[in-house]
């Protein structure tokens, strides 16, 4: 574990730690920041479509809207400022694009604008991916 090895900004020239893939929650980022001594930044994405969102300096997760169309769906309808299932559509994939791909994450697509000044939408991730159990295991 990093904290036991005392690896961090004093032993490595780190400016920040960027987590990729599934969203990293506050209690997890606290451990990482304590172990490394630098700021943790969330990068939200998945293998299938790549980068979906990136955290700004105001700690909001902005949707990479130039590449991904993100929808939050609740009871079969798109919702804003309400919790639902996150679905994404790739905007630039030429072969086998993922369309309304359900990640298994739950979140809120926010109508509020971020104080960082970016116009990209904000997504709040509320719970991570449901573990998909193999029916044959």
Nearer to Zn ion among residue 42 and residue 60 (C-beta): 60
- Contact letters for Zn ion, residues 96-135 (x by CB under 5 A): ------------------x-x-x-----------------
Minimum CB–partner distance for residue 70 and Zn ion (Å): 15
Q: How far is the CB of 71 from Zn ion (least distance, A)?
A: 20
Long-range CB contacts (within 8 A, 24+) of 36-43 = 36/2, 36/7, 36/8, 36/9, 36/12, 37/8, 37/9, 37/10, 38/8, 38/9, 38/14, 40/16, 41/16, 41/17, 42/18, 43/18, 43/19
What residues have CB less than 8 Å from 118, skipping those under 6 apart? 56, 62
Positions in 20-59 near Zn ion (CB under 5 A):
56, 58
Member of 23, 29, 60, 63 binding Zn ion (CB under 5 A): 60
CB closer to Zn ion out of 24 and 114: 114
Contacts with Zn ion, residue ranges (CB under 5 A)? 56, 58, 60, 114, 116, 118
């Amino acid at each position: 574990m990093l904290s036991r090895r005392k690896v961090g900004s004093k032993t490595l020239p780190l400016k920040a730690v960027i987590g990729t893939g599934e969203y990293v929650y506050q209690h997890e980022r606290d451990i990482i920041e304590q172990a490394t001594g630098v700021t943790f930044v969330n990068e939200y994405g998945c293998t299938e479509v790549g980068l979906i969102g990136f955290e700004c300096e105001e700690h909001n997760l902005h949707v990479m809207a130039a590449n991904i169309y993100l929808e939050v769906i609740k009871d079969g309808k798109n919702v804003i400022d309400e919790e639902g299932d996150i679905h994404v559509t790739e905007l630039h994939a030429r072969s086998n694009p993922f369309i309304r791909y359900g990640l298994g994450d739950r979140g809120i697509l926010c109508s509020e604008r971020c104080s960082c000044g970016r116009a990209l939408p904000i997504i709040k991730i509320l719970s991570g991916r449901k573990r998909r159990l193999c029916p044959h295991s």
